[in-house]
Amino acid sequence: MLLQGRTCVITGAASERGLGRATAKLFAEQGARVAILDLDEAAAQAAAKAIGPDHRGYACDVTDRDACLGAARRIREDFGGIDVLVNNAGITQPVRTLDITPENYEAVTDVSLRGTLYMSQAVIPTMKDAGRGAIVCMSSVSAQRGGGVFGGPHYSAAKAGVLGLARAMARELGPDGIRVNSITPGLIQTDITAGKLSDAMKAEILKGIPLNRLGDAIDVARICLFLASDLSSYVTGATIDVNGGMLIH
């Protein structure tokens, strides 16, 4: 049990076929008590119930700093502490550069980038008090290769910002025993991609993936588990690619 007795917070984890839900399920199997955060409290509670009786769901808009602080406070009251945070919440939009409106830009960057900062700010004091903690930030291969998957340039920018933020936090928080790392998934089969890929599109995409398959949510969840657990106790400021070789650099 790699996470026995630890409290793990995962944002944006209510979607049934999402990266967050797969991560929550795997963490629960490894002994964690999981707190699922989502805009929809009923959906978050249902997701928590689906993985077992020891887990809880909470409403939280990660773009609202007060909401993040409030959610973290409730989790501490219910579980006694916070050991792991997975900043998973994010949205994407397939919009080209000249078509990006201020509303588009703010929506995408607010959830991925501002949300990562606010939720991290909400849990860091608890981790500092404990002298240890692990924060996992979800970026994207889009940030590294300049888009070309689903999201527009503003999505690439937001996810590139996540990488910079995570590395800066890792440098700052290392002396406090808090590790901060990032994951850059490639094309993963989730609710976001469901129904958007024709057989012809898949065949074309697979030509650029050496492992010759699209990713599954569990592929990303396993790397989250590695970064959340003591298996990665001497790893911080790292970026781990989960893309089947779509980008080798």
- The 10s digit of each residue's pLDDT in 107-140 is 999 999 999 999 999 999 999 999 999 999 999 9
Measure the CA–CA gap between 127 and 85, rounded to whole angstroms. Answer: 10
Q: What is the pTM of this model?
A: 0.96
Measure the CA–CA gap between 152 and 226, rounded to whole angstroms. Answer: 30
Catalytic residues: 155
- The 10s digit of each residue's pLDDT in 177-234 is 999 999 999 999 886 666 667 788 788 889 999 999 999 999 999 999 999 999 999 9
The predicted pLDDT at position 225 comes to 98
**Is residue 145 packed enough to be buried (19+ CB in 10 Å), middle (13-18) or exposed (0-12)?**
middle
- The 10s digit of each residue's pLDDT in 87-110 is 999 999 999 999 999 999 999 999
